[in-house]
Protein backbone atom coordinates (compact mmCIF):
# COMPACT_ATOMS: atom_id res chain seq x y z
CA UNK A 1 0.00 0.00 0.00
CA UNK A 2 1.36 3.42 -1.01
CA UNK A 3 2.25 5.81 1.81
CA UNK A 4 2.74 9.57 1.96
CA UNK A 5 3.34 12.27 4.50
CA UNK A 6 5.16 15.39 5.65
CA UNK A 7 8.56 15.40 7.36
CA UNK A 8 10.04 18.52 9.00
CA UNK A 9 13.80 18.75 9.55
CA UNK A 10 14.98 20.99 12.38
CA UNK A 11 18.14 21.59 14.40
CA UNK A 12 20.71 24.12 15.44
CA UNK A 13 22.66 25.96 12.71
CA UNK A 14 25.24 24.06 10.68
CA UNK A 15 24.35 20.48 11.70
CA UNK A 16 23.72 19.31 8.13
CA UNK A 17 19.98 19.70 7.57
CA UNK A 18 20.33 20.90 3.97
CA UNK A 19 23.03 18.32 3.21
CA UNK A 20 20.70 15.54 4.28
CA UNK A 21 17.77 16.82 2.27
CA UNK A 22 19.84 17.34 -0.88
CA UNK A 23 21.26 13.84 -0.54
CA UNK A 24 17.82 12.27 -0.30
CA UNK A 25 16.38 14.28 -3.19
CA UNK A 26 19.45 13.84 -5.38
CA UNK A 27 19.51 17.52 -6.34
CA UNK A 28 20.99 20.65 -4.78
CA UNK A 29 17.91 22.56 -3.70
CA UNK A 30 19.06 23.88 -0.34
CA UNK A 31 22.46 25.54 -0.41
CA UNK A 32 25.27 24.37 1.84
CA UNK A 33 28.27 25.98 3.52
CA UNK A 34 30.17 25.79 6.78
CA UNK A 35 28.71 29.15 7.83
CA UNK A 36 25.84 29.19 10.37
CA UNK A 37 22.40 30.38 9.20
CA UNK A 38 23.08 29.43 5.59
CA UNK A 39 19.44 28.38 5.13
CA UNK A 40 17.11 31.35 5.58
CA UNK A 41 13.82 30.11 4.13
CA UNK A 42 11.62 27.12 4.72
CA UNK A 43 12.17 24.93 1.66
CA UNK A 44 9.92 22.07 0.58
CA UNK A 45 11.27 19.15 -1.45
CA UNK A 46 9.62 15.91 -2.54
CA UNK A 47 11.04 12.38 -2.54
CA UNK A 48 9.06 9.73 -4.43
CA UNK A 49 9.70 6.03 -4.95
CA UNK A 50 7.51 2.96 -5.50
CA UNK A 51 6.57 2.74 -1.82
CA UNK A 52 5.97 6.30 -0.76
CA UNK A 53 6.05 10.03 -1.35
CA UNK A 54 7.78 12.05 1.37
CA UNK A 55 7.40 15.82 1.47
CA UNK A 56 10.44 17.20 3.31
CA UNK A 57 10.51 20.66 4.85
CA UNK A 58 14.03 22.00 5.45
CA UNK A 59 14.19 24.83 7.98
CA UNK A 60 16.67 27.51 9.07
CA UNK A 61 18.80 26.72 12.10
CA UNK A 62 17.06 27.71 15.32
CA UNK A 63 18.93 30.59 16.92
CA UNK A 64 18.45 33.73 19.00
CA UNK A 65 17.44 36.45 16.51
CA UNK A 66 19.34 39.72 16.41
CA UNK A 67 17.37 41.45 13.64
CA UNK A 68 14.21 41.24 11.50
CA UNK A 69 15.81 38.63 9.24
CA UNK A 70 16.55 36.43 12.25
CA UNK A 71 12.95 36.78 13.46
CA UNK A 72 11.69 35.78 10.00
CA UNK A 73 13.91 32.69 10.02
CA UNK A 74 12.53 31.55 13.38
CA UNK A 75 9.00 32.20 12.11
CA UNK A 76 9.75 29.89 9.18
CA UNK A 77 10.68 27.17 11.68
CA UNK A 78 7.51 27.70 13.70
CA UNK A 79 5.30 27.42 10.61
CA UNK A 80 7.07 24.18 9.62
CA UNK A 81 6.15 22.66 12.99
CA UNK A 82 2.41 23.18 12.58
CA UNK A 83 1.52 20.03 10.64
CA UNK A 84 3.70 16.99 10.01
CA UNK A 85 3.76 13.23 10.31
CA UNK A 86 7.43 12.83 11.24
CA UNK A 87 9.86 15.29 12.82
CA UNK A 88 13.61 14.90 12.40
CA UNK A 89 15.94 16.76 14.74
CA UNK A 90 19.57 16.75 13.61
CA UNK A 91 22.56 17.13 15.88
CA UNK A 92 26.23 16.13 15.73
CA UNK A 93 29.28 15.57 17.90
CA UNK A 94 30.27 19.21 17.56
CA UNK A 95 26.98 20.39 19.09
CA UNK A 96 26.87 18.74 22.51
CA UNK A 97 23.61 18.96 24.38
CA UNK A 98 23.30 22.55 25.52
CA UNK A 99 20.73 25.32 26.00
CA UNK A 100 20.05 25.45 22.25
CA UNK A 101 19.22 21.75 22.07
CA UNK A 102 17.15 21.89 25.24
CA UNK A 103 15.19 24.81 23.79
CA UNK A 104 14.39 22.76 20.65
CA UNK A 105 13.51 19.67 22.68
CA UNK A 106 11.01 21.57 24.79
CA UNK A 107 9.64 23.22 21.64
CA UNK A 108 8.87 19.84 20.05
CA UNK A 109 8.04 17.81 23.17
CA UNK A 110 4.26 18.02 22.84
CA UNK A 111 4.06 17.91 19.05
CA UNK A 112 1.88 15.05 17.88
CA UNK A 113 4.27 13.39 15.44
CA UNK A 114 6.87 10.64 15.41
CA UNK A 115 10.22 12.11 16.38
CA UNK A 116 13.60 10.89 15.15
CA UNK A 117 16.92 12.19 16.45
CA UNK A 118 19.56 12.01 13.72
CA UNK A 119 23.18 12.16 14.87
CA UNK A 120 24.99 13.46 11.80
CA UNK A 121 28.67 13.48 10.76
CA UNK A 122 29.41 10.12 12.41
CA UNK A 123 32.26 9.63 9.96
CA UNK A 124 34.11 12.38 11.84
CA UNK A 125 34.03 10.76 15.30
CA UNK A 126 34.11 7.30 16.89
CA UNK A 127 31.21 5.03 17.87
CA UNK A 128 31.63 5.82 21.56
CA UNK A 129 30.88 9.48 20.84
CA UNK A 130 27.70 8.57 18.95
CA UNK A 131 26.59 6.33 21.81
CA UNK A 132 27.29 9.09 24.32
CA UNK A 133 25.23 11.61 22.33
CA UNK A 134 22.38 9.10 21.96
CA UNK A 135 22.44 8.46 25.70
CA UNK A 136 22.36 12.18 26.50
CA UNK A 137 19.37 12.84 24.25
CA UNK A 138 17.46 9.71 25.26
CA UNK A 139 17.25 11.05 28.83
CA UNK A 140 14.74 13.66 27.63
CA UNK A 141 12.21 10.94 26.66
CA UNK A 142 11.18 12.78 23.51
CA UNK A 143 12.44 10.71 20.58
CA UNK A 144 10.93 7.52 19.17
CA UNK A 145 14.20 6.60 17.46
CA UNK A 146 17.83 7.73 17.43
CA UNK A 147 19.85 7.08 14.29
CA UNK A 148 23.53 7.84 13.46
CA UNK A 149 24.27 8.92 9.88
CA UNK A 150 26.67 10.80 7.65
CA UNK A 151 24.53 12.88 5.29
CA UNK A 152 27.55 13.96 3.28
CA UNK A 153 28.88 10.44 2.69
CA UNK A 154 25.50 8.69 2.47
CA UNK A 155 26.03 6.54 5.56
CA UNK A 156 22.76 5.48 7.20
CA UNK A 157 20.59 7.63 4.92
CA UNK A 158 18.85 4.60 3.40
CA UNK A 159 18.05 3.33 6.91
CA UNK A 160 16.59 6.74 7.77
CA UNK A 161 14.35 6.67 4.69
CA UNK A 162 13.07 3.20 5.61
CA UNK A 163 12.35 4.38 9.15
CA UNK A 164 10.44 7.42 7.89
CA UNK A 165 8.36 5.29 5.51
CA UNK A 166 7.58 2.88 8.35
CA UNK A 167 6.03 5.75 10.30
CA UNK A 168 3.99 7.15 7.40
CA UNK A 169 0.34 6.26 6.94
CA UNK A 170 -1.29 5.09 3.69
CA UNK A 171 -1.96 8.14 1.57
CA UNK A 172 -2.11 9.65 -1.93
CA UNK A 173 0.65 10.95 -4.15
CA UNK A 174 0.36 14.68 -3.51
CA UNK A 175 2.72 15.67 -6.32
CA UNK A 176 3.72 14.18 -9.71
CA UNK A 177 6.48 11.58 -9.36
CA UNK A 178 9.06 13.86 -11.03
CA UNK A 179 8.24 16.89 -8.83
CA UNK A 180 11.18 17.98 -6.66
CA UNK A 181 10.53 21.36 -5.03
CA UNK A 182 7.99 24.15 -4.58
CA UNK A 183 10.67 26.78 -5.08
CA UNK A 184 10.94 28.48 -8.51
CA UNK A 185 14.17 28.44 -10.52
CA UNK A 186 14.68 32.15 -9.81
CA UNK A 187 14.86 31.44 -6.06
CA UNK A 188 17.28 28.54 -6.51
CA UNK A 189 19.52 30.62 -8.79
CA UNK A 190 19.73 33.37 -6.15
CA UNK A 191 20.55 30.78 -3.51
CA UNK A 192 23.31 29.25 -5.65
CA UNK A 193 24.94 32.65 -6.04
CA UNK A 194 24.69 33.23 -2.28
CA UNK A 195 26.21 29.83 -1.60
CA UNK A 196 29.24 30.59 -3.75
CA UNK A 197 29.62 33.95 -2.05
CA UNK A 198 29.58 32.22 1.34
CA UNK A 199 32.33 29.89 0.17
CA UNK A 200 34.53 32.72 -1.10
CA UNK A 201 34.07 35.37 1.58
CA UNK A 202 35.53 36.19 4.96
CA UNK A 203 33.72 35.18 8.15
CA UNK A 204 32.42 38.67 8.99
CA UNK A 205 30.67 39.18 5.65
CA UNK A 206 28.26 36.25 4.93
CA UNK A 207 25.51 37.11 7.43
CA UNK A 208 25.33 40.56 5.88
CA UNK A 209 24.77 39.55 2.27
CA UNK A 210 21.74 38.73 0.17
CA UNK A 211 21.21 38.11 -3.53
CA UNK A 212 18.63 39.90 -5.66
CA UNK A 213 17.83 38.64 -9.15
CA UNK A 214 17.13 41.67 -11.34
CA UNK A 215 16.71 39.81 -14.62
CA UNK A 216 16.51 36.18 -15.72
CA UNK A 217 15.54 35.75 -19.33
CA UNK A 218 16.15 33.16 -22.04
CA UNK A 219 17.24 34.54 -25.39
CA UNK A 220 15.05 33.81 -28.38
CA UNK A 221 16.27 31.04 -30.67
CA UNK A 222 19.33 30.45 -28.45
CA UNK A 223 20.19 28.03 -25.70
CA UNK A 224 21.32 30.88 -23.48
CA UNK A 225 19.88 32.45 -20.33
CA UNK A 226 20.86 35.99 -19.34
CA UNK A 227 20.94 36.54 -15.59
CA UNK A 228 21.64 39.85 -13.89
CA UNK A 229 21.99 39.70 -10.09
CA UNK A 230 22.98 41.99 -7.26
CA UNK A 231 24.88 40.89 -4.18
CA UNK A 232 23.69 43.16 -1.38
CA UNK A 233 26.01 43.98 1.50
CA UNK A 234 25.82 46.36 4.44
CA UNK A 235 29.16 48.17 4.42
CA UNK A 236 31.55 49.76 1.96
CA UNK A 237 34.36 47.63 3.40
CA UNK A 238 32.29 44.51 2.71
CA UNK A 239 31.82 45.56 -0.89
CA UNK A 240 35.59 45.73 -1.32
CA UNK A 241 35.96 42.23 0.17
CA UNK A 242 33.28 40.79 -2.13
CA UNK A 243 34.84 42.31 -5.23
CA UNK A 244 38.38 41.38 -4.17
CA UNK A 245 41.70 42.58 -5.51
CA UNK A 246 41.36 43.26 -9.25
CA UNK A 247 37.86 41.75 -9.09
CA UNK A 248 39.16 38.24 -8.42
CA UNK A 249 36.62 37.24 -5.78
CA UNK A 250 33.53 38.42 -7.64
CA UNK A 251 34.84 36.67 -10.76
CA UNK A 252 35.39 33.47 -8.78
CA UNK A 253 31.91 33.66 -7.29
CA UNK A 254 30.42 34.23 -10.74
CA UNK A 255 32.33 31.40 -12.43
CA UNK A 256 31.47 28.87 -9.74
CA UNK A 257 27.81 29.96 -9.60
CA UNK A 258 27.45 29.89 -13.38
CA UNK A 259 28.59 26.26 -13.53
CA UNK A 260 25.96 25.16 -11.01
CA UNK A 261 23.24 27.29 -12.59
CA UNK A 262 23.95 25.80 -16.01
CA UNK A 263 23.52 22.32 -14.53
CA UNK A 264 20.26 23.40 -12.93
CA UNK A 265 18.80 25.04 -16.05
CA UNK A 266 20.31 22.67 -18.61
CA UNK A 267 21.47 25.56 -20.78
CA UNK A 268 24.29 28.06 -21.15
CA UNK A 269 24.19 31.05 -18.81
CA UNK A 270 25.45 34.60 -19.18
CA UNK A 271 25.74 35.67 -15.53
CA UNK A 272 26.43 39.26 -14.57
CA UNK A 273 27.04 40.04 -10.89
CA UNK A 274 27.04 43.47 -9.25
CA UNK A 275 27.68 44.47 -5.64
CA UNK A 276 25.44 47.02 -3.96
CA UNK A 277 25.60 48.54 -0.49
CA UNK A 278 22.30 48.48 1.42
CA UNK A 279 22.92 49.43 5.04
CA UNK A 280 20.93 47.51 7.65
CA UNK A 281 18.93 45.61 5.03
CA UNK A 282 18.33 42.84 7.57
CA UNK A 283 16.10 45.27 9.50
CA UNK A 284 14.48 46.85 6.44
CA UNK A 285 10.96 45.41 6.06
CA UNK A 286 10.59 46.64 2.47
CA UNK A 287 13.83 45.00 1.33
CA UNK A 288 13.12 41.82 3.30
CA UNK A 289 9.79 41.45 1.52
CA UNK A 290 11.40 42.01 -1.89
CA UNK A 291 14.05 39.40 -1.07
CA UNK A 292 11.45 36.87 0.06
CA UNK A 293 12.30 37.08 3.75
CA UNK A 294 9.10 38.67 5.02
CA UNK A 295 5.59 37.44 4.28
CA UNK A 296 3.64 40.19 6.04
**In angstroms, rounded to a whole number, what is the distance separating the alpha carbons of residues 36 and 43?**
17
**In angstroms, rounded to a whole number, what is the distance separating the alpha carbons of residues 218 and 68?**
35
Q: State mean pLDDT over 83-96.
A: 83
**In angstroms, rounded to a whole number, what is the distance separating the alpha carbons of residues 169 and 288?**
38
The domain boundary, picked from 170, 202, 218, lies at 170
Overall residue count recorded for the chain in this entry:
296
Q: Does residue 154 share a domain with residue 248?
A: no
Q: What is the pLDDT of residue 167?
A: 96
pLDDT tops 70 at residue 204: no
Q: Does residue 112 share a domain with residue 189?
A: no
Q: Does residue 72 share a domain with residue 214?
A: no
Whether 178 is covered by a domain: the verdict is no
Q: Exposed e or buried b for every residue in 90-101, given b needs 16+ CB within 10 A?
A: bbbbebeeeebb
Q: Does residue 190 share a domain with residue 160?
A: no
Residues 6+ apart with CB under 8 A from 286: none
Q: Does residue 204 share a domain with residue 78?
A: no
Q: Does residue 204 share a domain with residue 58?
A: no
Q: Does residue 18 share a domain with residue 140?
A: yes
Q: What is the pLDDT of residue 66?
A: 66
Q: Does residue 222 share a domain with residue 146?
A: no
Q: What is the pLDDT of residue 289?
A: 83
Q: Does residue 158 share a domain with residue 195?
A: no
Q: What is the pLDDT of residue 243?
A: 94
pLDDT tops 80 at residue 79: no
Q: What is the pLDDT of residue 126?
A: 80
Whether 275 is covered by a domain: the verdict is yes
Residue 53 near residue 63, CB atoms below 8 Å: no
Q: Which domain holds residue 127?
A: 3-170
Give me the CATH number covering residue 63: 3.40.50.300
pLDDT tops 70 at residue 8: yes
Q: Does residue 212 share a domain with residue 95?
A: no
Q: What is the pLDDT of residues 267-293, one digit of tens each?
A: 999 999 999 999 888 888 888 888 877
Give Cα 147 distance to the centre of its chain. 21
Q: Does residue 211 share a domain with residue 161?
A: no
Q: What is the pLDDT of residue 284?
A: 84
Q: What is the pLDDT of residue 149?
A: 94
Confidence of residue 38 (pLDDT cuts 50, 70, 90): low
Q: What is the pLDDT of residues 133-158, one digit of tens each?
A: 999 999 999 999 999 999 999 999 99
Tally of domains in the chain: 2
Q: What is the pLDDT of residue 92?
A: 83
Q: What is the pLDDT of residue 86?
A: 95
pLDDT tops 90 at residue 114: yes
> If you compute the radius of gyration of the chain from its CA atoms, what whole number of angstroms results?
20
Q: What is the pLDDT of residues 186-196, one digit of tens each?
A: 989 998 998 89
Residues 6+ apart with CB under 8 A from 259: none
* Number of other CB atoms surrounding residue 169 within 10 Å: 9
Higher pLDDT, 122 or 38: 122
Q: What is the pLDDT of residue 206?
A: 67
Mean pLDDT of the chain: 86
Q: What is the pLDDT of residue 212?
A: 94
Give me the CATH number covering residue 284: 3.30.300.20
Q: Does residue 259 share a domain with residue 118?
A: no
Q: What is the pLDDT of residue 36?
A: 56
Whether 121 is covered by a domain: the verdict is yes
Whether 158 is covered by a domain: the verdict is yes
Amino acid sequence: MFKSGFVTIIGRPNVGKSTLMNNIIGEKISIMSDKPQTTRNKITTVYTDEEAQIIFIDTPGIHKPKNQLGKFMNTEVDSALEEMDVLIMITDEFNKVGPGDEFIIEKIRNINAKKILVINKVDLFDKDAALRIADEFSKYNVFDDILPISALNNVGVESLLKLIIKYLKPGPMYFPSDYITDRPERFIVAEIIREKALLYLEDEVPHGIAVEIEEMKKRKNRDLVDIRANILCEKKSHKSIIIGKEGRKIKGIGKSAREDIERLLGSQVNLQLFVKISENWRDNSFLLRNLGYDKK
